[in-house]
Amino acid sequence: MDSSHETEELVVLVGADGRPAGTAPKATVHTADTPLHFAFSAYVLDPEGRLLLTRRALSKRTWPGVWTNSFCGHPGPGEITVAAVRRRASEELGLQPAQLGAVEEVLPDFSYRATDSSGIVEYEVCPVFVVRLTGPVALAVNPEEVDAWVWAAPADVVAAARALPEVFSQWMVAELADPRLVAALG
């Protein structure tokens, strides 16, 4: 596609009433004064029940090189969140639609505000999903999003996040503190 026809990725801002209140360019919205916007977090389980952890690419504007949940993203204007989860599974991890089994919204009411070491703020209404893969798993990660990845037992990940929270993204640590997510991960 000719780059002059590519559209700028937008995030959907959240109004005081919790509803969409306009958009802002993703490339410029994350600053020291990030406005509240819609996002999501996803945890991927393979057919054996292992959890995919990813290390954010070193080139990422926010939380570069930090270990986190499988993937995150932002629904676009008018996009249903579960559709955004499926889209980002492909864009970040190279997962094909046929590989994606159940996509379950586990924490529909999760939101957070966090500041990384450079002063960049994330401020999101961020429902959390568990994605169960079917069949053989072949990742084709996008190096602009993911630097490294590992499959681990969910119980080991929960224990590590509790013991060493500074090693992981602040949102992942907060999400894994919720017993609903821990139960969903098995």
Model confidence over 23-82: pLDDT tens digits?
A: 999 989 999 999 999 999 999 999 999 999 999 999 998 999 999 999 999 999 999 999
Q: Could you say which of 8, 9, 48, 72 is catalytic?
A: 72
125/173 Cα distance (integer angstroms): 16
Query: Of 161, 141, 137, 157, which Cα lies nearest the Cα of 149?
Result: 141
Across residues 89-115, what is the average pLDDT? 95
Per the CB < 8 A criterion, the answer to whether 158 and 185 are in contact is: yes
Q: For the residues of 69-121, what is the DSSP string, one character each?
A: SSEEE-PPTT--HHHHHHHHHHHHH---GGGEEEEEEEETT-EEEEE-TTS-E
Active site residue 72: yes
User: Beta partners for 71?
Assistant: 42
Distance linking the first and last C-alpha atoms of the chain:
42
- Residues making up the binding site for Mg(2+): 92
- Residues making up the binding site for Mn(2+): 30, 37, 74, 122, 124
Phi-psi region of 118 (alpha: psi -120 to 50; beta: other; left: phi over 0): alpha
- Residues making up the binding site: 30, 37, 74, 92, 122, 124
Q: Could you say which of 6, 124, 145, 175 is catalytic?
A: 124
Model confidence over 28-39: pLDDT tens digits?
A: 999 999 999 999
- When pLDDT is cut at 50, 70 and 90, the band that residue 20 belongs to is very high
Model confidence over 105-121: pLDDT tens digits?
A: 999 999 999 999 999 99
